Chains A and B, each alone.
Chain A
């Protein structure tokens, strides 16, 4: 079973995403901000990370840049999932090492096709 870390400061979004991902066969862990996500990845590197952009303590983009420099941090497929929906943000995310990008609102179809495209399903 593949593992996915859901990183979002909204409990509701984490819950919705978790439900969708579990239906797709992932085991899920949650983090409320980039810092918690860093701590999690230092302990155990997930196969996938669903990542919000704007969060307190540490933003998603900052987390991603740090992750890609960590030992083993190249491995997880990172899918941004954010309300930031302009080209500049998308390009910034891709150049920081994101594999895919979801603009909120999302549904299970979108998560499923994006995860397929990066080879997680």
Chain B
């Protein structure tokens, strides 16, 4: 690939998704974009680069961005964050929101929806404890294709075996051909929306609990700061933020601080002493 083409794709991806590609990732660009080239009847990435420069066809730019953004996900990924949710975060929010009885949860960059649905199943399992509560789960992703997949709640045999206990599969899924689909009850607990984290987050409203795991790792430092600070504005003072195991706020923003004794959990810097 020509250096100027690589640079052009990098700039495009950075502007549209915040994704930072270093030159050692050229192979990734080729392997992910070749299927897009075929779909658009372009001979290769040279021709694709030319097309992007001359036409800037929105649909093509969109396909390129979607193909490059990672979509790895699994049910109850890493397990620990969900244990923390059940034993620490949820009880705390139930105590703090006693008056309103409304809790809003955001799965940011939700990919094909497994994180949001894992939470929905967890809440369904809590059952009676949550009677009278309104718990909203919103999943957003940059990719329209992923949002469609998430909404369908339809997963392969392989996907439902990664992290999902068999008892939950039996309880909340139905078999559709060779795939497994989440029940309407679980699907109705989550709203999915196509949304870019680099855009204005205000229309999404305020969230008490934000899951943004393994998202920041793809951004450069200024973008990480921008996204975290924009998220902070969508969170009330006692809200909680989840980041991935390899991520931190240290050196990136002072709006958040690690939650004591809870790895991966962060609170707003101005949070009340006792949450």
Contacts and interface: CB of A to CB of B under 8 A. Distances in A.
B53 to A, nearest CB: 41
Nearest to B168: A117
Contact of B163 (A90, A91, A103, A113): A113
B162 A94 contact: no
Given A86-B175, A87-B175, A116-B79, A94 B161 contact: no
A109 interface: yes
Contacts of A102: 161
**Looking at chain A, what size class is its interface with the partner chain?**
10 to 19
Contact of A113 (B162, B169, B170): B162
A53 interface: no
A24 to B, nearest CB: 16
A59 B162 CA distance: 26
Given A100-B165, A117-B165, A94 B157 contact: no
B166 A94 contact: yes
Nearest to A118: B165
Contacts of A91: 170
Interface in A85-108: 85-87, 90-91, 94, 100-103, 106
Contact of B162 (A87, A90, A101, A109): A109
B41 interface: no
Most chain A beta carbons < 10 A, residue from B163, B166, B174, B175:
B166
A35 interface: no
B79 A90 contact: no
B165 A90 contact: no
Contacts of B158: 110
Contact of B166 (A86, A100, A116): A100
**Looking at chain B, what size class is its interface with the partner chain?**
10 to 19
A116 B169 CA distance: 16
Contacts of B166: 90, 94, 100-101, 114
B169 A90 contact: yes
B268 to A, nearest CB: 33
A103 B157 contact: yes
Most chain A beta carbons < 10 A, residue from B79, B157, B161, B163:
B161
Interface in B247-263: none
Interface string B169-197: 11000110000000000000000000000
Contacts of A106: 161
B149 to A, nearest CB: 20
B82 to A, nearest CB: 12
Contacts of A114: 161, 166
Nearest to A103: B157
A117 B79 CA distance: 9
Nearest to A91: B170
B113 to A, nearest CB: 18
13 contacts: A85-B157, A87-B170, A90-B166, A91-B170, A103-B161, A106-B161, A110-B158, A110-B161, A110-B162, A113-B161, A113-B163, A114-B161, A114-B166
Interface of A: 85-87, 90-91, 94, 100-103, 106, 109-110, 113-114, 116-117
Given A103-B161, A110-B161, A110-B162, 6 more contacts: A85-B157, A87-B174, A90-B169, A90-B170, A103-B157, A117-B165
Interface of B: 79, 157-158, 161-163, 165-167, 169-170, 174-175
